[in-house]
Amino acid sequence: MATEKKYAVVSGGSRGIGRAIALQLAKDLNYNILLTYYSQEEAAKKVCKDIEDFGLQANALQIDVSQRDTTRKALNQWQTENSSAVIEVLVNNAGIRNDGLFVWQKDEAWDSVLATNLNGFYNLTQALLEPMLKAKFGRIINIVSLSGEKGNAGQVNYSAAKAGVIGATKALAQEIAKRKVTVNAVAPGFIKTDMTKNLNEKELKKSIPANRFGTPEEVANLVSFLASEKANYITGQVIHINGGIYS
Please list the active-site residues: 158
CB atoms under 10 Å from CB of 243, counted, come to 19
CB atoms under 10 Å from CB of 217, counted, come to 15
Q: Are strands 181-188 and 138-143 parallel, antiparallel or unpaired?
A: parallel
Segment holding 35, helix H or strand E? strand 32-37
Report angle CA 141, 186, 49 to the nearest 5 degrees: 60
The separation between CA 214 and the C-alpha centre of its own chain, rounded to angstroms, equals 17
CA distances from 165 to 38, 56, 187, 192 (A): 20, 31, 11, 22
